[in-house]
Amino acid sequence: MLVKTLKNWLNRFPYIKRILKKNWQQIAAIFKPEFTPITSGTFDLHELVTLLGKDDPVILEIGANDGSHTALFLELFPKARIYAFEPDPRACQKFQERLGNDPRVVLEKIAISAMDGEIDFFMSNSIASEDIPGNWDQSGSIRKPKEHLEVVPWCIFDQTIRVPTQRWQNGGVGQIDFIWADVQGAEIDLIQGGQQALAQTRYFYTEYANAELYEGQIPLRDILKLLPNFRLMRRFSNDVLLKNKRLK
């Protein structure tokens, strides 16, 4: 009855009906942030210069892989302090070859999770072809692959190793200006294990997927529920930029 009444009311005011129809996502996002319209493309890291508003930010890069983003952060912020975390030994070797012993960077060869100790790490690889590179190391995770095997059939997981893991409780770093997280389906582990650090983080950028690419992966809706003190600033097709509402 209520729905019918609402429809009849809207039919009496076609202009309002057109506005609601055109902007339904923006209106829905007020009540459910996961409906925030998707911004095309990917986040331009050069925007961080204005966003962070300082030349010496503290940056955490969780899932740093070969250090290519780390190098870009240093280019944008020559005075930055970067704490990088990467559990895949192949990627760690590439990282060190790229960045050497740069004093501005600390590389921790561990996975961040909700526990301290050791954990299984499912190493990614690839079936090399003319269009697909071999030795693909960018999809490894502490969560077992699930739908990822169907969505990206050329990416295989042919080896499981044990890697050190720990919760991230800030470690005396102080306020964190920006977290860049690429943890391949382990977002829930990162958030649960990094509550203290996240409470002192201004901006948090993370991947998400609404499909269960890895076992136990949570969708964007549940990520936002775990982060009630963060506001969704920008949503891309596979990533979101969040801002801590309690920090400037």
Q: What percentage of the chain carries pLDDT values higher than 90?
A: 77
- Nearest Cα to Cα of residue 184 among 122, 125, 134: 122
Q: What percentage of the chain carries pLDDT values higher than 70?
A: 86
C-alpha dihedral, 90 to 93 to 95 to 101, nearest 10°: 160
Give pLDDT, residue 172: 78
Kindly state the average pLDDT of the residues 93-104: 96
Token reading at 74: 């240093």
Architecture of domain 41-115+164-244 in this structure = 3-Layer(aba) Sandwich (3.40)
Buried b (16+ CB within 10 A) or exposed e, 64-103: bbbbebbbebbebbeebbbbbbbbbebbbebbbeebeeee
Domain locations in the chain as residue ranges: 1-31, 41-115+164-244
Token reading at 48: 């961080």
φ and ψ at residue 215, rounded to 5 degrees: -60, 125
Give pLDDT, residue 12: 72
For 132-158, write each residue's pLDDT tens digit: 888 999 999 999 999 999 999 999 999
Give pLDDT, residue 132: 83
Q: How far is CA 85 from the centre of its chain?
A: 13
**Does the pTM of the predicted model rise above 0.95?**
no
For 5-28, write each residue's pLDDT tens digit: 656 755 776 655 565 455 444 444
Give yes or no for residue 68 having a pLDDT over 70.
Answer: yes
How many other C-beta atoms lie within 10 A of the C-beta of residue 60? 25
Cβ atoms 114, 178 nearer than 8 A: no
Give yes or no for residue 29 having a pLDDT over 50.
Answer: no
